[in-house]
Amino acid sequence: MIEGVAPSVWIAVVTIAALLIGFGLFLGRGGPRDARGRRQFRLRPMRRLVGLLLLALACVSAMFAVTLYQFFRLTADEPVARIVLRQQAPRQFVATAELPGKAPEDYTLRGDEWQIDARMVRWRLPALLAGVPPLYRLERLSGRYTDPAADQSEPRTVYALGPAGMPDLGALKQRFPGWLPFVDVQYGSGAYMPMFDGARYRVFVDPRGALFIRPEDAATQDALKQRGW
């Protein structure tokens, strides 16, 4: 693996190669030349079939590359989000979230704590031995209650953070299991922390594929200690 080249780039290269070869085999004339040197069209079933299979492979690879492009490469403990909280009412807060590649956005959360979830892409052998880094994609931001009974009876707030309308790796793997032998996407990670007015947090992902949260400033850290965190 060449350092700094994302897996989606390699998949895109394979997709383009399969697309060009597939079109050449499926649409090419492939027959003998006439007196003017032009190839004559002949129906060659095996040639057309191989071209059609390559075109199908290119379509599946393109879907995989687009889906994988949604994910971010992970090579070290990496800050992936910043959350600032403002209290509006009892158990109601406005969370200003700064996420990679997006402008800051406000989310109204209800509860005692906030939670963020991510989908992780962990590679299997031999991709793991080749040094392919894990990937992540932030998926949800939600409010939660300390008491499980309150979680069942009080209003819940959940927001999608990932891009909508795009193919999901899990769905692609279930539909085309033979094409994705080195990808393990059945893995999620989440972390939560208390909500209080003025709290500031940083969300990180470590290379092993786990989300964790740290207070961003001393005031938040002191407030967490007072609350037993």
The residues that bridge with 193 in the sheet, in sequence order, are 114
Sole residue written with tokens 């800051």:
104
What is the torsional sign of CA 153, 226, 204, 195?
Answer: positive
Least confident of 26-35, 137-146, 156-165, 195-204: 26-35
Q: 192: part of which helix (H) or strand (E)?
A: strand 188-194
Q: Which range (48-57, 61-70, 135-144) has the least confidence? A: 61-70
**Measured between alpha carbons, how far apart are the two ends of the chain, in Å?**
42
Q: Is the pLDDT of residue 164 over 60?
A: no
- d(CA 28, CA 40) in angstroms, rounded, equals 10
Check whether residue 50 and residue 152 sit in a common domain.
Answer: no
Q: Which domain holds residue 45?
A: 7-69
- DSSP letter (8 states) at residue 22: H
- Give the pLDDT confidence of 65-85 residue by residue, as tens digits: 655 555 656 556 788 899 999
The beta strand positions in 58-179, using DSSP E, are: 72-73, 78-89, 92-98, 105-110, 113-123, 135-144, 158-160
Residues 127 and 173 in one domain: yes
110 and 157 assigned to the same domain: yes
Q: Are residues 132 and 154 part of one domain?
A: yes
Mean pLDDT on 114-134: 73
Q: What is the pLDDT of residue 42?
A: 56
**What is the tally of structural domains in the chain?**
2
Q: In this structure, are 11 and 117 located in the same domain? A: no
CA separation for the pair 216, 102 (Å, rounded): 20
Q: Regarding predicted confidence, which is higher, 99 or 13?
A: 99
Closest CA to 97 of 114, 110, 113: 114
